[in-house]
Structures are given as structure tokens and as C-alpha cells.
Chains A and B, each alone.
Chain A
Amino acid sequence: MRTTGVIPSRPKRRLWFGSGIGRLNYRHKQRLFIYGGLLIPLLYFVVIRILPILYSFNVSFREWGMLSPDKPFVGFDNYATLLSDSLFLKSLVNTGIYVVVGVPAQLIAGLIVALLLQQVVKLRGLFRTAYFIPYVTSVVAVSWIFRWLLMKNGIVNALFIELGLGPQSFLYSPSQAIFWIIAVMVWQNIGFQMLIFLAGLQNIPKLYYEAAAIDGATGWQRFVHITIPLLNPVMLLSVVMASIGFLQSFTQVLNMTGGGPLDSTISVVLHIYNLAFKSFDMGLASAATVILFVIIFMLTLVQLKVLGSRFQQE
């Protein structure tokens, strides 16, 4: 990493390489410290995240049998195989359902809880903790508890029968299962969502509400014209994070249904997992990973563009 002094036009820069650190002035030392400090996490990030991503691009263009010594280059074969594989397409559609249903549900639920909690004066900490605990509980444990609750002869069904609603199939129904999984995911994320919204709500100056109240705005009007617009930056963050989260649905699916019944709950990431670690076909799995990566990337860009611009206008 030596520059060998090719750029003589800016002699000041030589300080960095020519002379010892001891001769740097305070500002330079400060900068060196800051950039040095930033460099380490950046390097870590590049080595742990970016390089594997680039590498998986490489793998996705090869027939990469886990155990075969030669990994021939096959161009877009893996992509073609995936796009003609009905199970992969099904997993794409399902993942779409996870996002389209899950993200708004999570946002609305989180917002409602945050608004209610804001009104609570007594035992605020207790309620916050209660809503936050699921978020920090092991996903696998939560999945299994719900699997237990939702089994055909489980407590929830006993309740349904008691209420005269009749027994439900829950996780054994191709039409219901995916929504129960989404419900569990939303339930588990409410705490996190609530926390973000609470922070956002606290940043809205009281003054606006007082002014609106004097002008005779109703509670609903205040909510729609003050709370919602001013929460926009927080919502942008939530939408992006929640979308990425639901696009990567995996643990709950694997533990609650394993992708069944009749592949009705299989997500892209679960499919990738099966391809890679059950069928040992790293090429196909990598191609699927790249496709998912592109989808997440595009979707996040669009969200930042659309939601972000709205925020700037208001």
C-alpha cells in the first residue's frame, strides 16, 4: 500500500507516509484516529458480508455440487433452472405474501400499541417490557410454543370449539398456515416496532398538538395531520426494516410448518436452505440467493425513493 510519491502537487499529504506519526499535528492525528476507527468495522463488514456476497455470485454461475471436486462454469443455467422450478416460483409468491401482509400488519399493530402506551401513565415501564419481551425471546422457542398452541388438539382450538367456531386446521391448512406464521412473526416484532414508534412520537413537539387543539382539530384530525406526517421518517425506517425481515422469513417457517402443507408456506430463504444443506446444490442455492438479494436491493431503493421523497416534501 505505498504511493511512491507520484503526486507531487499536494506536498501536505506526504505527512501521512513520509514522516512519523509523532510529527503530525493534532487535527491530523484526530483524523487518523477517526478514519482508523472507522476502517476496522468497515474491513470486518467487507470481509464478512461483502466478499461472501461477491463470492456467491461466482458460485451461482457454476454447477457447485457440495461434494464434487470440479465445479464447472455453467453460465445462467442455474437461474434458468430456478425460474422454471415451480417450487421456487411458489416460494417467491409466498415470500410476497409474507411481505405484503406482514409489513402493514406489523406497522399498524406497532403503531396502535405505541399510541396506547403513550396514553398510559401508570406502569408504563411494565407494559413496555411486556411488549418487548417477545422480541428478545428465542425465535425457535416462540415458533415451537405456537406450534404447540395451534396444533389440532391444542389450546387455541379448544377455545375455538368452546366459542362455537368449530375446530380449525391452523398450520395444517394450506390456506391458513401462512397467515398464522405471519401472525406469530408480527406478534414477536410488535415490541421492536413499538419502541421505534415511541421514540418517533416523543420527537413530535407538543406545541403542534396544542396549536391544533386551539384551532379545534379533533383527535383523529390531529392524528392524521400531525402524527402521521411527522412519523414519516420513522415509518420509512420501519417499512424498510420490516420488508427486509419478511423477505428473509425463515426460522418461524422452518420450525412451525417446514414449508408445508403442500408447500403453502415455503419461503425463498427456506428453499435456499433446502437446496444448499439438504440437496447440497450450492450453485442453485447461490443463484436463488442472488435473486433474493436483487429483489431486496430493488425494493429497498424503491421504498427509499417513494417514501423518502414524500417525507422531504412535507
Chain B
Amino acid sequence: MTESGYFSFRPSKTLQFLIAGLLLLSITACSAKPSEESGSAAVTASSVQTEKEPITIEYWQYEFPAKVELINTLIQEFETEHPNIKVKQTNFPYDQYNQKVATLVPAGKGPDVINLYYGWLPKYVQSGYLQPLPESSFPGIAEAFFPFVDTAKLNGSYYALPTGVRTLGLFYNKDLFTKAGLDPEKPPTTWEELVSDAKALTETDKNGQLVTEGFAWEPGSQLHHWFRDGLLYQAGGKDTSEDRRKILWNDTPAGLEAFKYLVDFATVHKVGINGFYTDDANAFKTGHAAINVDGSYRLGSIKKDTPDLNFAVAPLPGYKGKSTQASFWANAIPANVTGEKLEAATAFLQFLISKGVQEQWVEKVGELPAQKEVALQDKYVNDPLLGPFISQLNDANAHFFIDETQERTLFVNAVDEVLLNHVPEEQAFNDLVAKTQKLYDDYWAKQDKKK
């Protein structure tokens, strides 16, 4: 409601009166808070000068109970180490997160350290919400962290750093392996083995209806990530160009090969279907799917929902190379944080990525350490459930997102075109690349216009 007036019509007398009244009301309602705010700010500012009161910084993350609880304990730990800093944690529901940030930060109520999904970073950075992390306080990131942390490097600087990370792995049901006459200690390690095992594990009834999925097949869940960061690289392809402007999926035959490999599970091998027991995670947890490609975060929900499930985890099967997908929530510092607050925020961020915190993060939250030194300790590498995920961290890619929902929908639709409309795979794939490229082109055109 700034410059161009949108009340260009001439309202009648009564309406004018009503509008005037409403405006008055809204003005009084709005003005009440900022005046309070500025008052209290003035008080703290003056008291800092006199007797060095502790600085309070605010940490924002979304509502995920394990993370919220752990951060609360960590804050206590941090405050004993830094008696002159106080940290206040604020949480928002996941689906309101961006909305809250967008409305509260411009109002001067923003956080001093903020937790963001890595896929949102380009949007945040381009809108000028974040400042690059001070290099002097965070040296040697490239060496200390696993390669996927590169995604947080924009315009040549790191804008955010993760505490923990998730990767994709192969979950498999040991009981179903034994039942199908397969060795439960020998999960598939190659593309071919995955197909033959999945076939052996699939069970249908007399009507030809699936009873057990050999391979849980849900493109809308994790399979689109598996394609982009797993299969594509394994077949020798690449996701995007260095400047993240061009989709390279069909630059080599690898892309189509990976796409076909994925779709064939449903169309040719018929080992899994969309929506079996509502979705892949559910089918796997209830013992109706033998193999599932899923993230390390699933370990926690299996432990909670189906603690008796006899399952194991293996690295994703490889082909010409190895690769898996990584994704993470990272901590960043908003652009408007300066002076003493910036120092305090930097200290807190350093604390959040410290070895001790990362170790607690694995144990309490279940996300893997993002730093090599922490992750590659024997106790994690040799852990039967964490080990397979950790062993893949070096080959993990975190792809760049323009718009996660749209990109996923495009992928799911391409697969559905083959499945439901019997469009040839090659055509569906080329359409997918073209549509995804258009999404990227539109995005970059807008960005270039802004510059």
C-alpha cells in the first residue's frame, strides 16, 4: 500500500466515512506495537553502554520436535560458554515458515541466526535477506565439509552452513529377502542386481494384483531426487551446468538411460506401483514393500512407528559410478544483523557446526554430520544403520532448486505420461527436460532483469 493509490474510484459519502473510520482503526492498531518496540530497544541500547548487559540473539527454525528440544539444550550449553550472550529460540510450522520470514523480517523482527532449507537459499540470497558468512570466522569450509555444501555457495561466498545432512540409501526388508530365497546379508549393489532382486521379491495374487512390491515405486516421494542426484550421475550424466542455468540431463545418453531405468520398474518389470498402501514409506514400514529408496531421516520414523520391522540399509546400487542425493537445513545470518549482534550470531553459528553439536545431532535428530572429521569416526562408519549413509557422503550431490514443488510435479507428470498415456519414454523425457529448462530460463531471466 505504498505509492500508487488503488482507491482511484470516488466512493459515496457513507463509504468515505466508513473507509475513514477503518483507516483510523487500522492506524491505531498498527501503531501500538512499533512504539512499544522502539521504547524497549532504546532501553537496552542505553543499558548496554552503562553496564555491559548480555546481548540477546534470536534463532529461528521450523517446528520439528526433536530439533526444537535439542536446540533448547544446546542453547543452555552455549550460554554457559558465552555468559554475555543470550539465545532465544522461535519456531514456526514448516508450511508457514517462509511466510513468517517474509512478513516479520521487513518489520524489523527478524532472527539473528536462521535455519533454512538449502533449496530456498537462492531465493533468500537473491532477495537480499542474507549476508555472506564472514570468511575469517569460517575458514576452510570446502575442506572440512562434504562436497554437497557447495550448494550453499552463491556468488562466490558461503551463505549458510549445515549441522546435519540427509542422504538417500536403500532400505530393505530382511524377512522378505529370506522369504524370497535371497541372502538378507547381500543387498543389491548394481543396477542389474536391483532389478533381478526386485523381480524375485515381487508377489502377486491369482488376479494378478500386487501383494508385495519388490521395489517401492513412488515418483512423488524420493525417486525424483534419486533420478537427479543418483541415477543420472551413476550413468555418467550431470544435473546442471556450472552456472546452474542449463539442465544437462539430455546432453548425454545417460539421462534417458537413467529415466528409462527408473520407469521400467513400473512398466516393464512391474515390481511396484504408484500409491501402493498409499505411499512407498507406508508400504515399506508395513512390510508390503521389500526395497525402498528413502532418506536417512526415515530411520527415526521406522524406529517409532514399526520398531519390530526387520530391515537393513545399504548404499544405493551403483552403475558406472556411485552417487546419492544429499539435502540439508542450513543456518544463515540475515543481512540486517550487524555489530555486536553479528559477533554473537557468528559465535552461535560456529557453535552450531562444532563437532560436539554435530555428534549430538546424529544421536538425537538422526541427521548425519555434515563435516568429514565428525562423520568419518569409527562409531558412525561402523554403525549398521548410519554407516551405509555415511559411506556415501563423499559421492553425495545436492542439486540446485528453482522451485521444488514445480520441479517434482514436472517429473511426476513425465512419468505419468509414460504410465497412463503410453507416451514413448524418450518423448516424455525430452518434454521433461524442455519444461524444466523453461522453469530455469524464466527464473534466470527474472534474476538478470533485477541486476
Contacts and interface: CB of A to CB of B under 8 A. Distances in A.
A152 B276 contact: yes
Contact of B98 (A61, A171, A263, A280): A280
B191 interface: no
Contacts of B1: 55, 58
A263 B405 CA distance: 13
A88 to B, nearest CB: 13
Contact of B403 (A68, A167, A278): A278
Interface in A1-29: 1
B416 A260 contact: yes
Interface in B396-426: 403-406, 409, 412-413, 416-417, 420-421
A56 to B, nearest CB: 11
B38 to A, nearest CB: 20
A171 B124 contact: no
B14 to A, nearest CB: 13
B21 A1 contact: yes
Interface residues of A, number: 41
Contacts of B305: none
Contacts of B404: 278
A57 B5 CA distance: 12
B405 A274 contact: yes
Contacts of A174: 416, 420-421
B69 to A, nearest CB: 26
A1 B25 CA distance: 11
Given A172-B275, A277-B99, A153 B209 contact: yes
Interface string B97-109: 0110110001000
Contacts of B273: 152
**Residue among A57, A152, A167 with max Cβ neighbours from chain B (10 Å):** A152
Interface of A: 1, 43, 46-47, 51, 54-55, 57-58, 61, 65-69, 73, 144, 147-148, 151-153, 157, 161, 167, 169, 171-174, 258-263, 274, 277-280
Interface of B: 1, 3-4, 6, 18, 21-22, 24-26, 95, 98-99, 101-102, 106, 123-124, 126-129, 207, 209-211, 220, 273-278, 403-406, 409, 412-413, 416-417, 420-421
13 contacts: A46-B18, A47-B22, A65-B123, A66-B99, A66-B102, A67-B98, A73-B3, A151-B278, A152-B273, A157-B209, A167-B207, A172-B420, A277-B95
